Structures are given as structure tokens and as C-alpha cells.
Amino acid sequence: MGVRLMVVDDHRLLAEALASALKLRGHRVLAAAAPAAGAADLVISRAPEVCLLGTAAPAEAGTFDPVVKIKRERPQVAVVVLGPVPSPRGIAAAFAAGASGYVRHDERIEGVERAMLKARAGEAAVAPALLQGAFGELLNPAAQPDDEGARLLSMLTPREVEVLVRVAEGEDTRLIAAGMGIAPSTARTHVQRVLMKLGVGSRLEAAALAARTGLLDRASTRT
């Protein structure tokens, strides 16, 4: 029997493509949506059996807040996360929020379908290889440098790291926006978030802090 589901993804085109593929396999897709602020409310109102939730950053804070809200309001809805190869923290965060499964976003459609069916049946839907990799990393964690630069870098998203590097190179908002292909208002928001996370009041202070702590050297290898 087909699954009554919804597909939610950062990219609407991907959501709609996955929805179309699942429709062809006999499943009933209630909606395909981007995870804007109202996505969780849409899932709650439509009450599918399964929600496929796509994310590009499973380890970032707040990523699975929609899952928490969905499970609080509609505990019978099984949420399966579609994402990149996750860190142990990513998998843990997904399941801690109430997800029923985690599937790599490059999985074949048959794998997504199997995960949907397992989740609907109340089973944990996660590939053994992902669990093995997660446990392996938990048992043998990579050494983490214990210094301020590493700590500060861990607070920034990849996009914010790029912004910081450009700020340190003396680029103004217009140049940052042009170099990253984003609107000046978006670039300004990124800069403000970087300053807030670093706990400084100006771009000059951010550049000085990054240089003093070695954050720039680490950022260049990360980007």
C-alpha cells in the first residue's frame, strides 16, 4: 500500500522532483515544500503518515526544530531526514528531535522508499553503514585542537567563514556581496552574525581577533 507523505527540502525543485518520483511509485504526496517558517505547520495541518525532511546541515543548531514541533503536535507522523553523510552529532540530533530515520540524500529512490515504509511501521530507518560510521567516529574521535581559534571557528557556518576571510582581506559589503553572488543586504546580515558570534563590535576587531587566534589560518584550510 502506498504511503501518504509530504516532502520538505531546502530546495523546492529537489522536493518536487522527489515527490514526482514517489508518485510514480504509487505513493500519495500531499505536498512538496521548502522548509520556510510555516513548513512544520503545513505538515501538522495535513497530517501525512511520513514526512521526508531534507537538510544540508544536520549538525547546525535549530536544524531539527521543525521535527520537534511536528512530533509534539502530530506524534503519529514519522519523520525521515534526508541529508549528507552525517557526523555522529548529526544523527544524534535528528533522532533526539524525534526523527524516525536518516537517509543520505544521494540514496537511490528504492532506499528512500524502504526508509519510508520502515518509518511508517514504527521502525528505525537508518542504513547500517551510517550507524557504523557514526559509532566509529564516536569511539575514535579525531583529535581536536584545544585553542581559541578552533573554538571560534566551530561557531561559524561555512558561509560565515567565507565572509570572515573577506572581511579580513578588507572587502566592504559591496565587494563581499559581489564575490559571493548574494545581495548586499544578505552580505550585511552575514557580517553582523559573524561579529555577534565572535563577540566583537567592528570588522577591524573581527579581523584582529581572527589573526591573533590563528582563526584565519584554520579558515583557509576549511574553505
| Per-residue pLDDT reduced to its tens digit, 136-157 | 555 555 544 446 777 788 888 9
Dihedral sign of CA atoms 89, 92, 96, 98 in order: positive
Q: Which of 8-17, 59-68, 70-79, 203-212 has the largest mean confidence?
A: 70-79
Mean pLDDT score, 183-195: 93
Question: Residues 9-43, buried b or exposed e (16+ Cβ, 10 A)?
Answer: beeeebbbebbeebeeeebebbbbbbbeeebbebb
| Range scoring the smallest mean pLDDT among 36-50, 132-146, 154-168, 197-211 | 132-146
Cβ atoms of 90 and 58 within 8 Å: the answer is: yes
Phi then psi for 96, rounded to 5 degrees? Answer: -65, -30
pTM for this predicted structure: 0.59
* CA geometry: angle 124, 129, 132, nearest 5 deg: 90
